[in-house]
Every structure is written in structure tokens, then in C-alpha cells.
Amino acid sequence: MSEALTPPVLADPVALTRALVDIESVSGDEETIADAVASALRSAGHLTVDRYRHNVMARTELGRAQRVVLAGHLDTVPVADNLPARVADGVIHGCGTSDMKSGVALALQLAMTVPAPRYDVTYLFYEAEEVESERNGLFLVSQAHPEWLAADFAMLLEPTYGLVEAGCQGTLRAMVTTRGVRAHSARSWRGENAIHAAGEVLARLGDYQPRRVTIDGCEFREGLNAVRINGGVAGNVIPDECRVEVNYRFAPDQSVAAASDHVREVFDGFEVTVVDAAPGALPGLTAAPAVEFLRAVGSPPNAKLGWTDVARFAELGIPALNFGPGDPNLAHARDERVEIAKISEGASVLRRWLAGEETAS
């Protein structure tokens, strides 16, 4: 077992958060933390443990009627002079504290200390969530070991500040291209300015009225926005091409195909190329484990305004939600931090749900 993840540390979600933060694990460099997590899990006799690359899976085999997945990514964004972790005024500061080593700590502590949960549980700790999709550990596991993900319900321990965030938005990026005719700027009447033509694209965005969609009591707010613009040849040339990159965040009642059609409709008459898209996830709050979890939390869910890996579970037909102690507004920040009280509260909620106990230790 890793020296940092000793039995006393593994029993305390706060101490465990700090220990995990101190294991640097920027995307692509997760081997050390995956080794530590795997070693700890293998020391627990009630778990079956397996590993693929830097993705670690542990599961109970109790013959329960239902199985749930608790998943969290091990990687962080690059360190910004914010390691090692430090504690001050009831807060742990450091890279990954919010996103999402405090959530990983909750799952790992449960795995080590709840040998007989009410459901069979699969704990999945995975690599490379913070980088391109094809490197994402959850995606890689779904291709190489889809049986690891088989479940009736899944929970992603992303930062939600202790609230339940159900489902997630879909996301789509598209390039809207305007064309013109290149000419010398001293004789601009001989050309057609593609950048000027982009004004109509921006005008349509300015007039756009995004939908608000309520699903299972959760309100998803859509948005269609320009995020980048690129055009121009030289300081004395009328440009013949301009590209406006737009990002559409859409409610999970739409498919990627429907979202793509909508963007093309908004920009009818322009050249539109979808360059990247990912579907959203419906809230999935009717699954029996989700109902029990909401009872343990004691407060209604919110819609997840953003995209998370719950969508990967949704594509597999597994209802999923987001829940974690970190504040999403602090994710990736130089002053990233997590409140110790939120860690303790989250651990208590999860233990009530899985073990029927009122305290976190």
C-alpha cells in the first residue's frame, strides 16, 4: 500500500482528500496515483480489483438485486503553484481539491470502509478526464471492458457543492463561415469583405432566444454563443473568408442530430460545419437507487448546466447524476479549494445512502 494512503488516512475522507491532492496527477501522469489507489483497494478483502492502463476498478460481489457505479477521475489540470495542499480556516487548498479529488476521496473511503452496502457497488477511478475525449479513461474502459460499467445507476463525484445535479447538457461546436472576394484595401470596392459579412452571423446570435426546458423538475437553460472569430489575410487585404466558432449548449431532450439541425437553421444561408458534439444526459431520477439517494440528501435536484461524463453512462442506458463536495466555480482555478465541512457532509450523505449510517466514520 502507498505510504501516503495508510489505514487511518483511508478511514478519514478529509485526510484522504489531502493525501490524494499531494499525489500530483496532471492528465497523462496518473500512474503514481493509480498505483496508490489500486494498492489500497487490493488491501480490502471484500473487493474484487482490476486495472486497465491507469483506470482502477473495484467491486463488491454480494448478490444484491441492483448494482451502482461510483466514478471519479484521478487527473487534474496543470499545477499552478498550488501544491502541496495546505489547510487554513476549515478549507483545503490545492490543485484538484475541488475537481475532483475530494469526490474521489469520498468514493475511496466508502470502498474501504463499507464492506456490505445495500447495493452491489462498482468503484471506478479513471484517467484523463481533463483532456481530449479519445484519452478519457471512462471512454477507454467502455471500449475495452464494458462489463465494468454494467449497472442500474451511476454517480459521478464531480464538484456540485454538495447538491444533486441531474443529467447534463449536450454540447456542440460549429464553424459558421462567410465568404467574400479578396482585393487590395486601397481598392476595396473591387472585393467583398467576409469579416463585414460576419456581422449578420453576430446579429442572429444577438437576437437569439435560448430555450429553458424543464425535465423531471430540473430546468435546463440552453445557450448559443460565439466563442471565437478568425478572419483576415494582411493589413492591406480585403479578406475573402471569416469563421465564427459557435458553441451550443442544449437540453438533453435533444439529440446531437437535432441540435445540429437547429444550428444550421439559425444560420440558414451560411456555410455551417459541425466540428465537435457530445450528447447530453436525461436526469434519470426515477431509478430506485436515485430515489433512495435523493431521500438521503434531503433536497431536490438541480439540472447540470454543463457537460460531464454522466453522458457516457446515459449512452449505455444507465441513469446517472453528479454529486460531490467541491465547488464547480473553483475548478481549475489557481486558488482551487474545498471546504472541509462539505467533505464531511458528502461522506455522511453517501454513507446514509449505501450503509444506512448517520455519520461519515
Which residues are catalytic, by number?
75, 129
Give which of 15, 50, 56 is closest to 33, Cα–Cα: 56
Ranges of beta strands (E only) in 186-306 are 212-215, 218-221, 223-231, 237-238, 241-250, 271-278, 302-303
In this structure, the strands spanning 67-73 and 120-126 are: parallel
| Cell representation of residue 267 | 444560420
- Cα angle 295-157-220, degrees, rounded to a multiple of 5: 70
Q: How far apart are CA 122 and CA 235, in angstroms?
A: 59
Q: How far apart are CA 208 and CA 274, in angstroms?
A: 19
Residue for grid cell 437507487? 289
| CB 41, CB 56: distance < 8 Å | yes
SS3 36: helix
Q: Which residues contact 104 (CB under 8 A, 6 or more apart)?
A: 20, 37, 72, 73, 74, 125, 157
| CB 30, CB 128: distance < 8 Å | yes
- Cα angle 337-342-348, degrees, rounded to a multiple of 5: 145
